[in-house]
Amino acid sequence: MTAAFDFKQYLRERRADIEQALDADLPRPPACPPIIADAMRYSVLAGGKRLRPILTLASAEAVLDHDGADPKLREAGLALTMPAACAVELIHTYSLVHDDLPAMDDDNLRRGQPTSHVVYGEGVAILAGDALLTHAFELLARQPSNEPFGSNERRLRALGRLAEAAGAVGMVGGQALDIRTTGAKPENGEAEGPLSTTAELREIHERKTGALICAAAGTGAVLAGGSREIVAAIEAYAAHLGLAFQIIDDILDVEGSAEELGKTAGKDAAFSKPTYPMLYGLRRSRELATEAVLAAQQALADAGLSGPLHEIANWVVTRNH
């Protein structure tokens, strides 16, 4: 009989593996000046849930298990996916560093500690974000010495997929919509125009948060050699998951405390940002998040996929930070 799957233990182990790989992969002096190395490490190694890189690894696992990979191949496949998982976390961290800047959300607390520009100044914080983004693509472009024959093409596909999600059609585009419609700080008066429709809210979320979550999962599936159908199923799962994640993020901004969240709470209301609780109320928002999680899990079941992705969906909707 197989022992019951301990999801908490799984998360602990994956986080430890990811943090070790991030620590090893970040540039150090004398390869780069100490100030930029310090600022990059400060934000990346400050904690965080590591949801996106865990998704990359879990998606690769789901593909390898679906294809019946033997244990040795499975381990090798996961090891090859780790640089991509780290790249995803570096892109996410860059977005947080830039989002916290005075020109954007102007926040002074992130992951439970002062934001990058508070510690290093605006100029270095901007550069640290730039360096994290470019380093992510350096990691993806590097060919591991033990890469199996033929997987160069997969790496290229994964790289293109992540670049698209991070750029103008994804996260940068979503952030541009967000600051255009809601970016005015309270003391600066009205934002350009109130954003009120659920379709607009959904578009911002899909680009700003959903695209990277989707690409995190898709990248793992592509690198593990998933067929087009399996990659599509994992991306469908991740699209529902991204929506659930964002709805819960909006709810936590209302219900959570800065201590629990490690970032300033109540900012959406202070900036009159349209959110799911604002448009639907808290109760309906929770229902919508649960519906999105069930849809995510259904996408897995329909494709015959198993493993931690199912529990990750439950975690996203029950989290308190």
Q: What residue ranges bind ligand GRG (CB under 6 A)?
A: 48-49, 51, 92, 95-96, 98-99, 111, 171-172, 175, 208-209, 249
How far apart CA 316 and CA 239 sit, in angstroms, is 13
User: Taking a C-beta distance cutoff of 8 angstroms, is the pair 64, 73 a contact?
Assistant: yes
User: Nearer Cβ to ligand GRG, position 99 or 206?
Assistant: 99
Q: How far is the CB of 24 from ligand GRG (least distance, A)?
A: 19
Longest CA pairwise span in the chain (Å): 63
- Residue 113 pairs in a beta bridge with 110
Q: How far is the CB of 46 from ligand GRG (least distance, A)?
A: 8
User: Nearer Cβ to ligand GRG, position 59 or 151?
Assistant: 59
- CA dist 266 → 167, 255, 277, 304 (Å): 28, 8, 12, 40
DSSP string over 139-181:
HHHSPPTTPPTTTHHHHHHHHHHHHHHHSTTTHHHHHHHHHHH
How far apart CA 28 and CA 36 sit, in angstroms, is 9
User: Nearer Cβ to ligand GRG, position 126 or 222?
Assistant: 126
User: Nearer Cβ to ligand GRG, position 44 or 300?
Assistant: 44
Give the residue at shortest CB distance from ligand GRG: 48
Return the closest-CA partner of residue 115 out of 135, 93, 86.
93
Q: How far is the CB of 252 from ligand GRG (least distance, A)?
A: 9
User: Nearer Cβ to ligand GRG, position 275 or 297?
Assistant: 275
Return the closest-CA partner of residue 213 out of 248, 264, 259, 261.
248
Q: How far is the CB of 33 from ligand GRG (least distance, A)?
A: 23
Q: How far is the CB of 245 from ligand GRG (least distance, A)?
A: 7
Q: How far is the CB of 70 from ligand GRG (least distance, A)?
A: 33
User: Nearer Cβ to ligand GRG, position 151 or 246?
Assistant: 246
Distance spanning both ends of the chain, measured CA to CA: 35
